[in-house]
A and B are shown apart, each in its own frame.
Chain A
Amino acid sequence: MTMNTVATDNPVPAGSEKHYLTNGHTLSSWLFTVDHKRIGILYLISLVVFFLLGGAAAVLFRLDLMTPAGDLLRSETYNKLFTMHGIVMIFFFLIPSIPAVLGNFLLPIMLGTRDVAFPKLNLLSWYVFMAGGLLALFAIVFGGVDSGWTFYTPYSTMYANSNVILAVCGAFIAGFSSIMTALNFVVTIHKMRAPGLTWFRLPLFVWAMYATSLVVLLGTPVVAITLVMIFVERLLHFGIFDPALGGDPVLFQHLFWFYSHPAVYIMILPSMGVVSELISAFSRRRIYGYKFVAYSSLAIAVIGFFVWGHHMFVSSQSVYAGLIFSFLTFFVAVPTAIKILNWTMTLYKGSVSLQAPMLYAFGFLGLFTIGGMTGLFLSTMATDIHLHDTYFVVAHFHYVMVGGGVMGFLGGLHFWWPKMTGRMYPEGWAIFAAIVIFVGFNLTFFPQFQLGYHGMPRRYHEYASQFQILHVMSTAGASILGFGYLIMTGYLIWSLKFGKVAGSNPWGARGLEWETTSPPPTENFLVTPVVKHEAYAYDVPSETSDVQEPRPEQHNV
């Protein structure tokens, strides 16, 4: 891999010209920035730290699970670690990941505008997020929270230690940050699209951000109120969820899943948006059935609000309620399957190039399909009775949320890395890491399906000895997976300084973000772009990707 090649189309090395990264080098120019791109980078750095913490917790308890007696850790420590892993990964990595990093960075550029609608609110959302995250981390690390990320009552309100309150508070605060970002996105998409950029010319990533934001706006207030109720019960001993005080323990589960099921879509819809971009760019054509893909995001978002009870088939919820929840859950499967069909059909007769971002998109397709398929076992009531709260569920949601969510995030990160940093990552290493991550992931989680069907309950520090062999396989896989993530972190950091300088459009992709320089100037475009084509107009001879500067004659309105 040559490091000293100067990109043909951009002879000026990144750093010496004016762009958003060179616009101020002081710490305060970052901490008080209202530039959506810099805020995206702030999020990226914070999220990587949270991800590494959550991942380290997982490595520890996976090592502990090598033996049936859990010889490495004590029960208390084990319980705290899986709680930390869950809370950090869900509230402080997966939920914000794509919207806060890629969404913040790209949405205004994709819309051809200068910034989001409310730039200061955008910065505030990062501070709020950090406040929530640090508070939760503090509670977890110094106090030790062992309620699991689900905070089920009455355990969380009456029996677990009082640091639960702080952790809950952290998640509650982070919820406001999501709301602020979502609000910003909705208004920006409605109001600030470039001239000519009609709804059906929007990139599918923007559609996905839109659907996600709606889910956030409708769902997050409910979980916020629920978390406040935990507060009130715990501190004021006001009976809401604890039957000893006259409350209803199952009420909490309803409220919690009313948010947390849609939250799965908050994690997965953005990833689907990224995958649409990747598949289109690396097969050089418009996504097959663009409208179906766009509408299916909305359909998933809407139906997703009516299926929460599928987490409660054995909770003593009425059998008729269970019936309805099971029924509706099957309906979510349809738009999801349609999307997979559309992505596959996009490849047909395309011009497919298997670069690292595309490998992640393929990884997404494979893992997410398995995640979705195993969801069928859980939405079918009779089989869920047996599988509920076993490792089968653990495997299922990791396939969906990591296989789906994280693969999309990593694919997107590689794809837009040259845009964000002005540098290419090393392709060979990236392909190697993508393969290591894929193999490690499957080895970690596939055995867990079998563990689950054979009855291994989740959240067990000690377990029956017949399960050991599958646990050892899973731990081996987790080590490989962790290794893959480390390689990736390493070469991405390396590339910041030594990566090949990227031109405006290294992939020959379509989309407004590829029409501006890499990294983009603070104002994104020197002149407001005018959109004349549908998204992904690969058949129309490009007006820009060969001409690297924004064209003055585009000036209009």
Chain B
Amino acid sequence: MNSVFNLFPEQASSISSEIDLLYLFILIVSVVFTLLAAFLVIFFAVKYRRRSEDDRPEPPHADSKLEIAAGAFLLVLLMGMFFWGAKLYFKGNRPPSDAMEVLVTGKQWMWKLQHPNGKREINTLHVPLGVPVKLTMTSEDVIHSFFIPAFRVKNDVLPGRYTQVWFEPVKAGRYDLFCTEYCGNEHSRMVGWVEVMEPADYERWLSIGTTAAASTAAGGGPGESPVDAGARLFAELGCVTCHNQNSGALGPNLTGVFGREETMTDGSVVTVDENYLRESILNSQAKIVAGYAPIMPVFKGLINEDQLAQIIAYIKSLNDNGTDG
């Protein structure tokens, strides 16, 4: 059992101990400087205490070399901190390409999660040990923030856009999951658990049908993976009529589009990511791909967050199928 009096909380992800090492470094620097300052202040106050009301000490002769040297020394130390912190931050920002993707939707006051095979859960996240997991997150209402202290990861979850967090659990167990952006009355109840399981246990857990309550609350049929649901919607909503492999298609072929650089009619170049796909579907008139007419309907209000996430998952899956783009 990890006590709150331990220096570090539970270290359960691949980056936990790296963050803690950096924390320890800053801690040592801080403690050394604070103690040094405290010692000098107290020492001088005692040594140079006023001995008589007529004391007239010499005015100080400031040594600008001392000031500049101290400033420069400090700056070097701080730059070390900066680079170390930035390097780790970048690492924490780039999920490995083979990361397993879980969709997360925050709403007042619960977390809805969906696994790659379509299994849904609420306020609990089951993940396999030793497998990198990437969470693609959005909110249905206000800003929330997804925080797993034992993994040292956190990111805000915003309405109208996707954000992500990734981690690789290194220790089986049950860890706190908190919402850390104030989101209204029951903010402090927007909490849950992360269950890190042996991969075999996770597979077994995945294969057990999801509870009916969770799947209706989250919407959509149980057992259908986001990619499958997205493919179904892609046909149902008529996307295929314009987006297909035919040479005369009205819209661009979406195979292999994810991650590609696209040129727009105004000459700007964008890299296709989740947020770009989101905008292209909900508000297709915002950016028009060069060479195409602005004829795509606006889907805002016609599909909900879950369906949007599924369609995007489907479009992303087109990359893996190897079909020529």
Report 20 cross-chain contacts, Cβ distance below 8 Å, ordered by A residue.
A146-B184, A155-B183, A285-B59, A316-B158, A323-B86, A326-B86, A331-B75, A337-B74, A348-B60, A352-B48, A352-B49, A362-B41, A383-B26, A386-B152, A389-B180, A454-B149, A455-B147, A459-B188, A462-B188, A469-B4
Proximity bits, A329-369, B CB within 8 Å = 1, else 0: 01101100110111011111111111000000010011001
In angstroms, Cα B231 to Cα A65, docked, is: 49
Q: For residue B171, give the distance in angstroms from its CB to the closest CB of chain A.
A: 15
Distance in angstroms from B303 CB to nearest chain A CB is 15
B147: chain A residues at CB < 8 Å are 389, 455, 457
Given contacts A155-B142, A386-B154, A376 and B58 within 8 Å (CB-CB): no
A288 at interface (Cβ–Cβ under 8 A)? yes
Q: Which residues of B contact A530 (CB under 8 A)?
A: none
Report chain A residues within 8 Å CB of B64: 289, 292
Determine the main DSSP class of A at the interface with B.
helix
> Smallest Cβ distance from B37 to chain A, in angstroms?
5
Inter-chain CA distance A350–B55, complex, in Å, is 9
Interface residues of B in 130-188 (CB under 8 A from A): 141-143, 145, 147, 149-150, 152-156, 158-161, 163, 176, 178-188
User: Whole-angstrom distance from the CB of B207 to the nearest CB of chain A?
Assistant: 31
Within the assembled complex, what's the spacing in Å between the Cα atoms of A333 and B184?
Answer: 35
Query: Given the complex, which residues of A lie within 8 Å of B95, measured CB to CB?
Result: none
Asked if A213 is at the interface of the complex by the 8 Å CB criterion, the answer is no
Q: Is the Cβ of A455 less than 8 Å from the Cβ of B176? A: yes
Separation of A342 and B57 alpha carbons in the complex (Å) = 17
Cβ of B19 < 8 Å from any Cβ of A?
yes
Contact A350 B44 (CB under 8 A): yes
Is B38 close to A, CB under 8 A? yes
Q: Is the CB of A380 within 8 A of B71?
A: no
Cα distance, A337 to B74, chains bound together (Å): 8
Contact between B49 and A353, CB atoms less than 8 A apart: yes
Instruction: Determine if A285 and B84 form an interchain contact, defined as CB atoms under 8 angstroms apart.
Output: no
Contact B34 A376 (CB under 8 A): no
Q: Choose from B9, B26, B37, B81 the contact partner of A455 (Cβ within 8 Å).
A: B9
Task: Give the tally of cross-chain contacts (CB within 8 A).
Answer: 279
Does any Cβ of A come within 8 Å of B208's Cβ?
A: no
- The contact of B59 among A75, A323, A539, by CB within 8 Å, is A539
- Is the Cβ of A460 less than 8 Å from the Cβ of B48? no
Q: Which of B13-29 contact A (CB under 8 A)?
A: 18-19, 22-23, 26-27, 29
Q: Which residues of A are interface residues toward B (Cβ below 8 A)? A: 70, 75-76, 79, 146-148, 152, 154-155, 158-160, 242-244, 249-250, 283-292, 313-316, 319, 322-323, 326-327, 330-331, 333-334, 337-338, 340-342, 344-354, 362, 365-366, 369-370, 373-374, 376-377, 379-386, 388-390, 450-451, 453-455, 457-464, 466-467, 469-470, 508, 536-539
- Asked whether A314 lies within 8 Å of B155 as measured between CB atoms, the reply is yes
Which 5 pairs across A and B sit closest by C-beta, in order of nearness?
A455-B149, A243-B160, A380-B85, A382-B88, A351-B55
Is there an interface contact between B189 and A462, defined as CB atoms closer than 8 Å?
yes
> Do residues B41 and A249 form an inter-chain contact, with CB atoms below 8 A?
no
The listed residue (A285, A334, A362, A467) touching B60 by CB distance below 8 A is A285
Chain B residues whose C-beta falls within 8 Å of the C-beta of A455 in the assembled complex: 9, 147, 149-150, 176, 178
Bound Cα distance from A508 to B50, whole angstroms: 13
B residues in contact (CB < 8 Å) with A: 2-5, 8-9, 18-19, 22-23, 26-27, 29-30, 33-34, 37-38, 40-41, 44-45, 48-51, 53, 55-60, 62, 64, 66-67, 70-71, 74-75, 78-79, 81-82, 84-90, 92-93, 108, 141-143, 145, 147, 149-150, 152-156, 158-161, 163, 176, 178-189, 191
Q: Establish whether residues A385 and B154, one from each chain, have CB atoms under 8 Å apart when the complex forms.
A: yes
Which residue of the partner chain A has the closest CB to B44? A347
Q: Are B79 and A373 in contact (CB under 8 A)?
A: no
Which residues of chain A come closer than 8 Å to B44, judged between CB atoms? 344, 347-348, 350, 352
What chain B residues lie within 8 Å of A450 (beta carbons)?
Answer: 4-5
Question: Is the CB–CB distance between A315 and B156 below 8 Å?
Answer: yes
Is the beta-carbon distance between B59 and A362 smaller than 8 angstroms? no
Minimum C-beta distance from B4 to chain A (A): 5
Closest to A345 in B: B60
- Give A381 Cβ to nearest chain B Cβ, in Å: 4
In the assembly, what is the distance between CA of A341 and CA of B22, in Å? 26
| Cα-based distance from A382 to B82 in the complex (angstroms) | 9
Residues on A with beta carbons closer than 8 Å to the beta carbon of B155: 314, 316, 385
Contact in complex: A376, B145 (CB < 8 Å): no
- How far apart sit A319 and B93, CA to CA, in the bound complex (Å)? 8
CB distance from B307 to the nearest CB of A (A): 17
B-side contacts of A338, CB under 8 Å: 67, 70-71
Instruction: Report Cα–Cα, A155/B159, bound state, in Å.
Output: 11
Is the beta-carbon distance between A369 and B34 smaller than 8 angstroms? yes
- Alpha-carbon separation in the docked complex, A418 to B163 (Å): 57
Question: Which of B56, B70, B150, B178 meets A538, CB within 8 Å?
Answer: B56
